[in-house]
Amino acid sequence: MQKLFALTSSLSRRTRSSAAFSTSLLFDDTQKQFKESVAQFAEENIAPHAAEIDRSNYLPKDVNLWKLMGDFNLHGITAPAFKFFFVEMFFCICTSKLVMYAVKLYLTSLSATEEYGGLGLGYIYHCIAMEEISRASGSVGLSYGAHSNLCINQLVRNGTPAQKQKYLPKLISGEHVGALAMSEPNAGSDVVSMKCKADRAKGGYILNGNKMWCTNGPVAETLVVYAKTDMAAHSKGITAFIIEKDMPGFSTAQKLDKLGMRGSDTCELVFENCFVPDENVLGLEGKGVYVMMSGLDLERLVLAGGPLGIMQACLDVVLPYVKQREQFGRPIGEFQFIQGKVADMYTSLQSSRSYVYSVARDCDSGIVNPKDCAGVILCAAERATQVALQAIQCLGGNGYVNEYPTGRFLRDAKLYEIGAGTSEIRRMIIGRELFKEQ
Amino acid sequence: MKIMVAVKRVVDYAVKIRSGVETSNVKMSMNPFCEIALEEALRIKESGRASEVVSVGPAQCADTLRTGLAKGADRAIHVEFPGTLYPLSVAKIFKALVDAEKPGLLLLGKQAIDDDCNRTGQMIAGLLKWPQGTFASKISVVLDEGNKVATVDREVDGGLETLSLDLPVITTDLRLNQPRYATLPNIMKAKSKVIKKLTLQDLNVEIRSDLEVVQVIEPPKRQAGVVLSSV
């Protein structure tokens, strides 16, 4: 009934945001407004479904979350406009007149992207959106990240105007779901050794092979897939393609039954003589590794928002619990061991957050440093697993019971140590770069 | 037709306040009833004309006004006054604003969740000698040439009362609508919308405080019950 709905929704709104911590140095007013807005949206529309999504391993059938997020302009956050980089320059050499001019440019650039429906904003906003959605539900956050960054952002950065015009509008509105596939059953960390072949044919290529662990694979209409056009050339023989779900020869195998991130559908992709026309090559033939590696840096940055959201969700659950749970005549939050745990959780979250958003700010200015992009997700993901473990511990026996979300937080957090490059690969990237710089 | 919406910045409803009401580090946001009023104004605007958001209060009210602009209001007016204001003073300020801006319709939340006065709307109507429709749970506005009428369903103790009013002051109740989110494109557009700042001298309003808060105490803690052996 309308009465109950209005009452309950206004009550459920923002009951958790009181635990969101002030991060005044990280965000300006607009970004704070956006953060609150997305937090409210996620709290009202995604959080109520989170437990059921995890239990059933499906996204809700009665509500189209993709469309809802699209209506909230969350998918095309980084679809940039050609004027975007001018605006960044102006912001760097600010005077009040230039700021007004830049703001006007910014606004017209917003309308320039409206042909695709994007927003022309940067990675800070994207990370904020990723964090708040993951806070409501880790699975929805991961699927959202794969769709909006792995697929949409790759198209935005490497697509031709024709490709962008064909695929972006529906992806950004949420009507179509996007995915990206590079790993194979025998090529995970060693992704460059992929065996999926793309043989030259008349007017295009014929793809043969398998891809594994593709997030959104079962439901995606548009997929970015990497295959080898030249097996002998190793990394220089990789090409990126845009695949459509209906292409003959392309199919998806069964959905994977995962430890966590349940509901974020993941599956194996199968290519059997799948014909892909020339106009679906993303970037240039043989230059796929550049598309892949530069995309991976930004993917790691945006996905780092995921573990931040999970850590925040852990604190959202733990803080009220330790205030209300009493043992030995007092709330357990008064005992030093619990205070110690909560303090560790808090500092892990705040320090990871500072790192992630500082690097996001750099990336928005055009400074993309692979070491730091790998560093942020390495840091945030490992901290998130520890924070989730501590969250379970703070809840004690209740933490071990699935009625409480802490078990789901742990299972969801663990993924981020593996996907987008395992922690080991990330360490290798950072160490290798530091060594080279010496 | 211009619609003017009054918004108040109050302590966020989800925050637990201790007695004495410290407002320094506490999360503040727009009064929920004012959000409902703003939403109604935006809906009328989407089938009608401009809407403006006005708030009265100290400098920090600017963020509440920005939120209103981000939801879709066209302009904001900020009347700066650093102290506490009671409904009669607020009503006098709004009378001056209405005389200056000449809106066709004035929407307010029925009460603020900090003081629960439920007086401002009614007082403004009295000062302006405008009709009032309070506790509105449904509003429909007709804006034809010779016929400007608002039909308001009011929630009263006996049920629902439907009034037909020449464009009035309306205060809104909970079940009127579900306020919208401020989406990111609107937040960005709001950055360039104007917030006009006014002082009490600009409006020629003099206010004096007729009320003095003597004491604020928590209600007494609930006593434990007494177990009787029989009744």
pLDDT at site A238: 92
Contact residues on chain B for A101, CB-CB shorter than 8 A: none
- Per the listing, tokens 């925040």 go with A312
**Side-chain-facing half-sphere of B188: CA atoms under 13 Å:** 19
CA A294 – CA A301 distance, rounded (Å)? 11
pLDDT at site A86: 38
pLDDT score of B21 more than 70: no
Q: What confidence tens digit (pLDDT) does each residue in A386-419 have?
A: 999 999 999 999 999 999 999 999 999 999 999 9
Scanning every residue of chain B, which has its alpha carbon at the shortest distance from the alpha carbon of A9? B178
- Residues listed for chain A: 438
Tell me the C-alpha to C-alpha distance, in Å, between residue A123 and each of A171, A191, B3, B99: 18, 25, 37, 46
pLDDT at site A435: 95
Burial class (CB in 10 A: 0-12, 13-18, 19+), A422: middle
Q: What confidence tens digit (pLDDT) does each residue in B159-200 have?
A: 888 888 887 777 777 788 888 888 888 888 888 888 888 877
pLDDT band at A50 (very low <50, low <70, confident <90, very high): very high
pLDDT band at B152 (very low <50, low <70, confident <90, very high): confident
pLDDT at site B142: 76
**Residues B191, A30: C-beta atoms closer than 8 Å:** yes
pLDDT at site B154: 87
CA A270 – CA B153 distance, rounded (Å)? 61
CA B206 – CA A44 distance, rounded (Å)? 44
CA-based nearest distance B7→chain A, Å: 17
CA-based nearest distance A14→chain B, Å: 7
Which of the residues B183, B191, B195 would you substitute to probe the A interface, choosing the one with the greatest number of A C-beta atoms within 10 Å?
A: B183
pLDDT at site B63: 81
| Residue pair B127/B120 in contact by the 8 Å Cβ criterion | no
Scanning every residue of chain B, which has its alpha carbon at the shortest distance from the alpha carbon of A107? B189
Question: In terms of DSSP bridges, do strands B75-80 and B195-199 run parallel, antiparallel, or are they unpaired?
Answer: parallel
- Per the listing, tokens 């995890």 go with A54
pLDDT at site B147: 66
pLDDT score of B57 more than 80: no
> How many other C-beta atoms can be found within 10 angstroms of the C-beta atom of residue A263?
25
Q: What confidence tens digit (pLDDT) does each residue in A359-381 have?
A: 999 999 999 999 999 999 999 99
The DSSP element (H or E) to which A211 belongs, if any, is strand A204-215
Average pLDDT, chain A: 86
pLDDT at site A17: 44
pLDDT at site A109: 40
DSSP conformation letters of A117-159? T-----HHHHHHHHHHHHHH-HHHHHHHHIIIIIIIIHHHHH-
Strands (E) in chain B, as ranges, are 3-7, 9-11, 28-30, 51-57, 75-80, 105-109, 132-143, 148-156, 159-166, 169-172, 195-199
Contact residues on chain B for A34, CB-CB shorter than 8 A: 184, 187
pLDDT at site A357: 95
Tokens representing residue A119 in the block: 């927003």
Scanning every residue of chain A, which has its alpha carbon at the shortest distance from the alpha carbon of B11? A18
Question: In terms of DSSP bridges, do strands B105-109 and A266-277 run parallel, antiparallel, or are they unpaired?
Answer: unpaired
Between residues A18 and B226, which one has the greater pLDDT? B226
CA B173 – CA B154 distance, rounded (Å)? 9
**Of A331, A344, A376, residue with least CA distance to A130:** A376
Contact residues on chain B for A9, CB-CB shorter than 8 A: 178
- Residue A283 dihedral angles phi and psi, to the nearest 5°: 80, -150
pLDDT band at A222 (very low <50, low <70, confident <90, very high): very high
B12, B66, B175: residue with CB nearest A33: B66
Q: What confidence tens digit (pLDDT) does each residue in B73-88 have?
A: 888 888 888 777 788 8
pLDDT at site B55: 65
**Of B43, B75, B1, B14, residue with least CA distance to B172:** B43
- Residue B16 dihedral angles phi and psi, to the nearest 5°: -95, 120
pLDDT at site A59: 92
DSSP conformation letters of A33-81? HHHHHHHHHHHHHTHHHHHHHHHHTS--SSS-HHHHHHHTT-TTTT---
**Residues B192, A103: C-beta atoms closer than 8 Å:** yes
pLDDT score of A191 more than 60: yes
| Among A100-109, A111-120, A170-179, B22-31, the range of highest mean pLDDT | A170-179
| A19-32 average pLDDT score | 73
Between residues A434 and B148, which one has the greater pLDDT? A434
CA-based nearest distance B72→chain A, Å: 14
- Residue B144 dihedral angles phi and psi, to the nearest 5°: -75, 170
Residue A283 DSSP one-character state: S
**Residues A110, B188: C-beta atoms closer than 8 Å:** yes
CA A190 – CA A171 distance, rounded (Å)? 30
Tokens representing residue A280 in the block: 């679906």
**Residues A7, B174: C-beta atoms closer than 8 Å:** yes
Any chain B CB within 8 A of the CB of A40? yes
**Of A252, A197, A261, A254, residue with least CA distance to A221:** A252
| Residue pair A235/A192 in contact by the 8 Å Cβ criterion | yes
For the annotated binding site of A for substrate, the residues are: 189, 235-236, 290, 297-300, 420-421
pLDDT at site B1: 74
Beta bridge mates, B9? B30
Residue A167 DSSP one-character state: H
* Type of residue found at B154: R
Least confident segment among A93-102, A121-130, A303-312, B105-114: A93-102
CA dihedral B166, B172, B175, B177 (to 10 degrees): 80
Catalytically active residues of A are 299
| Residue pair B53/B65 in contact by the 8 Å Cβ criterion | yes
pLDDT at site A21: 63
* Cβ-based contacts under 8 A for chains A and B: 66
- Per the listing, tokens 């972006």 go with A168
Any chain B CB within 8 A of the CB of A96? no
Tell me the C-alpha to C-alpha distance, in Å, between residue B14 and each of A12, A38, A137, A317, B35: 9, 17, 21, 16, 15
pLDDT at site B49: 63
CA B85 – CA B206 distance, rounded (Å)? 12
Tell me the C-alpha to C-alpha distance, in Å, between residue B23 and each of A372, B15, B64, B186, B217: 40, 11, 15, 29, 16
pLDDT score of A124 more than 90: yes
CA-based nearest distance B174→chain A, Å: 7
**Residues A33, B14: C-beta atoms closer than 8 Å:** no
Q: What confidence tens digit (pLDDT) does each residue in B107-121 have?
A: 888 888 888 888 888
pLDDT score of A87 more than 50: no
Cα angle for residues A295, A298, A304 (degrees, 5° grid): 135
Contact residues on chain A for B67, CB-CB shorter than 8 A: 33
**Residues B182, A33: C-beta atoms closer than 8 Å:** yes
Contact residues on chain A for B189, CB-CB shorter than 8 A: 107, 110
* Type of residue found at B109: G
DSSP H helices in chain B: 32-46, 61-71, 87-101, 120-128, 184-190, 200-203
Tokens representing residue B199 in the block: 């002082």
**Side-chain-facing half-sphere of B148: CA atoms under 13 Å:** 10
For the annotated binding site of A, the residues are: 180-189, 213-215, 235-236, 290, 297-300, 325, 336, 393-397, 420-424
pLDDT band at A22 (very low <50, low <70, confident <90, very high): low
Between residues A56 and B29, which one has the greater pLDDT? A56
Scanning every residue of chain A, which has its alpha carbon at the shortest distance from the alpha carbon of B15? A18
> How many other C-beta atoms can be found within 10 angstroms of the C-beta atom of residue B219?
6
Tell me the C-alpha to C-alpha distance, in Å, between residue A245 and each of A197, B106, B176: 18, 53, 44
**Of A277, A279, A71, residue with least CA distance to A162:** A279
| A182-204 average pLDDT score | 92
Q: What confidence tens digit (pLDDT) does each residue in A269-278 have?
A: 999 999 999 9
pLDDT score of B93 more than 90: no
Close Cβ partners of B63 (under 8 Å, ≥ 6 residues apart): A29, A33, B9, B28
pLDDT at site B145: 63
